[in-house]
Amino acid sequence: MKRHPALIPLSREHHETLILSRLLQKGAPEYKGLPTDNAGKADYANNHYKNELIQHFRSEESILPLIKGLNPEIDNMVQDILDEHQEIHRYFQTLYDQDNLSDHLDRLGRALETHVRKEEREFFPLIQEHCQEDTLKLIERTLSHH
């Protein structure tokens, strides 16, 4: 399904987070110019979190009230998205307090990948399927202010 223009900015931001998610997982290939050691990966992840991901989550959360109540499946997914945001925040908040950083990075990477793929493959298509064009335009305007 082609992404509606209102959701394209969020989809573009997902690309960088997917690269990060793979970088953090055990057995990931090396990415040119990105850290290969756990401490470097943790710092890189933390910078992405502070500079990109926190604002990305805020942007996503700003549109949730616009779509809540349109469809029971969307409503269930909204709660899942919020729960996953909180889980990911906790991973980052405890990033430097780990006895086994490698395992923590792996869990964080898997959580990020699962979350982004759910939004891209399930949540955004639901929004596009169940939202009228005026709601999608409102989403677009809301995201442009974030």
User: pLDDT tens, 17-71?
Assistant: 999 999 999 998 888 999 999 999 999 999 999 999 999 999 999 999 999 999 9
Cβ-based neighbours of 123, under 8 Å, separated by 6 or more: 74, 77, 81
Task: Provide the 8-state DSSP code for 32.
Answer: T
Model confidence at 14, in pLDDT bands (50, 70, 90)?
very high
74: pLDDT strictly greater than 80: yes
pTM of the model: 0.94
Cα dihedral 74, 61, 52, 33, rounded to 10, equals -10
Region 127-139 average pLDDT? 95
| Res. 79 pLDDT band, cuts 50 70 90 | very high
